[in-house]
Amino acid sequence: MSEIVSEVDHGTRMVAGVEVRVTQLVWRDAGTSYEVHRADTGVDLTEADLTEAECFDQMPTDEQIAALLPPPATWFTCPGCGTVCNDGEGDLYVDHVRDCDLVDGAANPLPAQQ
């Protein structure tokens, strides 16, 4: 197996609302590959344990990088009780707002009961 002799930082860019860093790996056998890491967490998106992908043989496109990212989730936090729901949970937040005693039907906090 060849070893990495240098790493070339290709900087960061925004892809699907996530800042990523692309790094070119130069191997002793003159080969190259490209890794993609999240800039905020450092997580290697091209690591085989996290996805089916591995390093890219050429500079990845935004579309290739976007395919490595999990789909975005939109979150709702109940202003009354703090329960958190995401869009992937269907109408759970609609049901929650209807049933929560700390908000009205429009998710506005109710005045504190005395």
Residue 83's contacts (CB-CB under 8 Å, 6 or more residues apart) are: 77, 96, 100
pLDDT per residue as tens digits for the range 62-91: 999 998 887 766 777 888 888 887 766 667
List the one residue out of 52, 51, 46, 48 whose CA is nearest residue 24: 46
Q: So what's the pLDDT on residue 2?
A: 78
Residue 112 to residue 75: CA distance in whole angstroms: 25
> What pLDDT does residue 85 have?
79
Q: What is the pTM of this model?
A: 0.59
Q: Distance of CA 4 to CAs 7, 53, 113, Å? A: 8, 19, 65
Domain C-terminal end among 51, 66, 81? 66
Question: Within this chain, do residues 94 and 61 fall inside the same structural domain, yes or no?
Answer: no
- Is 80 exceeded by the pLDDT of residue 35? yes
Tell me: do 24 and 61 sit in the same domain: yes
Structurally, the chain folds into a number of domains equal to 2
Query: Same domain for 20 and 54?
Result: yes
| Residues 8, 61 within the same domain | yes
Instruction: Note whether 97 and 113 are same-domain residues.
Output: yes
**Pick from 31, 30, 20, 26: which is nearest to 64 by CA?**
20
- Report whether 11 contacts 22 (CB < 8 A): yes
Q: Looking at residue 113, what is its pLDDT? A: 54
pLDDT in tens, 36-58: 999 999 989 988 554 445 789 99
Q: Do both 57 and 103 map to the same domain? A: no
Structure tokens at 23: 């790094």
Structural domain of 91: 73-114
Indicate if 46 and 92 belong to the same structural domain.
Answer: no
